């Protein structure tokens, strides 16, 4: 899956109030709360992501998360 498609699907999972992009900083965005990140992790696992959760937790931006599977 290409980056644009992954980003689009992650944004659908988050269902944000504000516009999100690859450069969105996770810790600075209210849409990316605990529940949203929970749902993103579920999405990644459903799409074959096998990495360590600390790798996911170390992502600073939404683009970093996209890079985990794209």
Partner 1 sequence: MLRRFDGVSVDGIIGASGTELIDIALMCERLGYEPQKTRRFIKSLGFEQVRLLRRPQTVSDLAQAAVPPLLEALKLEPDSLDAFIFVTQSQDYIVPAPTYCLQQPLGLSEEVLMLDLVQGCTGFVYGLFYAATLLCSGVCNKVLVCAGDTSGYDGRQKGQEANDLLFGDGLGAAVLSRRPDAAGLWFSLQSHGALHDVIIEPNGRSKYKRSLDYDQGHIEDTGTFIDGPRLADYVLNSGKADVLRLLEAAGLKSTALSYCIAHQANKTLLKALAGLCALTPEQMPFLAAHTGNTSSASIPLSLSESSQSLPKLKEAPALLCSFGVGMAVASALVDLRRTLILPALYLD
Cβ count within 10 A of residue 28: 9
Interaction between residue 34 and partner 1 (CB under 8 A): yes
**Of these, 11, 29, 56, 64, which contacts partner 1 (CB under 8 A)?**
56
Interaction between residue 45 and partner 1 (CB under 8 A): yes
**Site track 9-28 with partner 1 (rule: CB under 8 A), x = hit:** -----xx-x-----------
Which contacts qualify for 29-32: CB closer than 8 Å, 24 or more apart? 32/62
Number of separate helices (H) and strands (E) present in the chain: 4, 0
Question: Quick one: 2 or 46, whose CB is closer to partner 1?
Answer: 46
């Amino acid at each position: 899956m290409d980056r644009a498609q992954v980003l689009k699907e992650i944004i659908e999972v988050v269902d944000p109030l504000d516009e999100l992009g690859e450069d969105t900083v996770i810790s600075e965005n209210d849409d990316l709360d605990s529940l949203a990140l929970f749902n993103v992790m579920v999405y990644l696992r459903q799409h074959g992501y096998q990495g360590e959760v600390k790798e996911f937790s170390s992502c600073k931006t939404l683009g970093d998360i996209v890079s985990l599977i794209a």
